[in-house]
Amino acid sequence: MYDIVIIGSGPAGATLARMLDNKYKILIVDKRNLNENKEYKREKCCGGLIAPDAQKMLAHLGLGIPKQVLTGPQMFSVKSIDFDNKMEKHYQRHYINIDREKFDRWLVSLIPETVNTDYGCQFISYKEKDDYIEVKLRNKEEYVIKTKILVGADGAISKVRKQTFKNSKFPESYISIQKWYKTNVDMPYYTSIFDKEITDFYSWIIQKDEYMLIGSAIPSKYNANEKYDILLNKLKKCGYDIGEEYKKTGTLIMRTRKLNQINVVKGKVALIGEAAGLISSSSAEGISYALKSGAMLAHSINKNNKNWSSNYRKNVKKIKFNILLKNIKALIMYNKFLRCLIMKSRILSMKIKSE
Ligand SMILES: Cc1cc2nc3c(=O)[nH]c(=O)nc-3n(C[C@H](O)[C@H](O)[C@H](O)COP(=O)(O)OP(=O)(O)OC[C@H]3O[C@@H](n4cnc5c(N)ncnc54)[C@H](O)[C@@H]3O)c2cc1C
């Protein structure tokens, strides 16, 4: 019998596994082969930008990002292209540009050896019994284990969440497509693109060494490939030299716009990170919440194993408040008229010499 079984070894799960007391018998599983160095088959679709909130959280956890996780260039501004209002502006921002797969693997490398791991292993389902939970997993073959606490850290399309909160209304889902193109151009800023014809969320361009990543988060009700092609054509018309396609990644984003779309704990099951719905509806930033909720749950379990669930639920209120502020920001940012006013006012915008 395990004390804690964690499904998913992304930033949330890996942080929890690293911070739990070693008196507990813990198992962490992930469908990715995180213990092998061969080609990443199940790479996470992500912009790979560490925003100030995530930087603060890493500092708080006593961590600094090793240089092999970084990619170039490091960027100090965001260029906002507003196709709806036909405007462009630069704003100062402080991001750290990383290789997302290497970042995840670095966090995994920090998990102590006392934690049992099963990588290349998929969570199938669970059954709640009186004193424990029976968890069905598959690594080539199916097997069943028992645990006192089950944690869903399995990201946006969380199976644990779906099974635990069957009657909840989940947030609206967006299909994110991100393609990597070869480039010779230096782009020392992150670009965000607003265009109602494509999405009521946003699209982005990020350089990672010799690649230009062009991505978009498109409401699932639309044909995402068609919308993505519209975006590419618009960028080409604006003079973007888009090279040969190198690879394509995709996933869903569940865009949490109401606090009741966040689910954190029920009985012996807890959710952390994106599985709980902890993501910004203004920027889709989620690494800070993953690190924070993973650390909060570890703290709650370590502090008082009996009341861990009420303790965790109470602590998550701080994250919920932060998400509420992001939701208010999103209401302003994604309103064409208000965005036009802000961009015209030049508040906080900056001039770039080369332009
Ligand atoms: C296109 C896009 C761009 C983004 N860009 C940024 C960004 O630049 N900066 C930022 O801060 N955030 C960004 N985010 C959000 C960020 O990626 C997530 O919020 C963050 O990864 C959440 O971490 P997590 O550990 O909760 O989940 P994840 O990182 O999704 O990890 C979940 C883990 O669970 C595993 N898993 C899933 N299902 C199963 C299963 N059934 N069995 C076993 N294992 C399973 C997965 O393999 C994965 O390793 C972006 C998201 C998207 C979609």
pLDDT at 355 over 60: no
- Domain range holding 187? 2-344
Write down the pLDDT at residue 36: 78
In angstroms, the CA 257 to CA 221 distance is 17
Ligand 1 pocket check for 152: Cβ under 6 Å: no
Residue 351, in any domain of the structure: no
349 assigned to some structural domain: no
Encode pLDDT of 15-70 as tens digits. Answer: 999 999 999 999 999 999 998 776 666 788 999 999 999 999 999 999 999 999 99
Closest to 274 (Cα-Cα) out of 254, 259, 292: 254
Residue 38: predicted pLDDT: 65
Rg (CA), the chain: 21
Give 234 Cα–ligand 1 centroid separation in angstroms.
29
Domain membership of residue 323 (yes or no) is yes
Query: How remote is the C-alpha of 34 from its chain's centroid?
Result: 17
Q: Residue 354 domain-assigned?
A: no
Q: Is residue 286 part of a domain?
A: yes
Of 1-5, 145-149, 305-309, where does mean pLDDT reach its minimum?
305-309
Give the pLDDT of residue 40.
63
**Stated pTM of the model:** 0.97
Tokens 């001039």 belong to: 351
> Can you tell me the distance from the alpha carbon of 193 to that of 236, in angstroms, rounded to the nearest whole number?
14
Q: What is the pLDDT of residue 114?
A: 97
Given a cut of 70, whether residue 277 has pLDDT beyond it is: yes
Residue 351: predicted pLDDT: 84
- 339 pLDDT more than 90: yes
DSSP H or E segment with residue 55: helix 52-60
The CATH number assigned to the domain holding 280 equals 3.50.50.60
Report if residue 353 sits inside a domain: no
Tens of pLDDT, residue by residue over 198-241, are 999 999 999 999 999 999 999 999 999 999 999 999 999 999 99
| Residue 158, CA atoms < 13 Å, CB-side half-sphere | 36
Pocket probe for ligand 1: among 31, 46, 56, the residue whose CB has the most ligand atoms within 8 Å is 46
Domain membership flag for residue 355: no
CB 159, CB 125: distance < 8 Å: yes
Q: Which atom of ligand 1 is nearest to the CA of 160?
A: 41
**Which pairing describes strands 190-194 and 77-82: parallel, antiparallel, or unpaired?**
parallel
Residue 163 tokens, joined: 């099974």
321: CA distance to ligand 1 center in Å?
Answer: 21
At 354 the pLDDT is: 64
- Report yes or no on 124 lying in a domain: yes
Distance of CA 93 to the CA centre of its chain: 19
How many structural domains is the chain composed of? 1
Output the CA 288–ligand 1 centroid distance in Å. Answer: 12
Ligand 1 site, residue 287, Cβ cutoff 6 A: yes
Neighbours of 20 (CB within 10 A): 25
- DSSP 8-state class, residue 49: E
Q: Give the span between the Cα atoms of 255 and 174, in whole angstroms.
A: 7
Pocket test for ligand 1, best of 40, 154, 291 (most atoms within 8 A of CB): 154
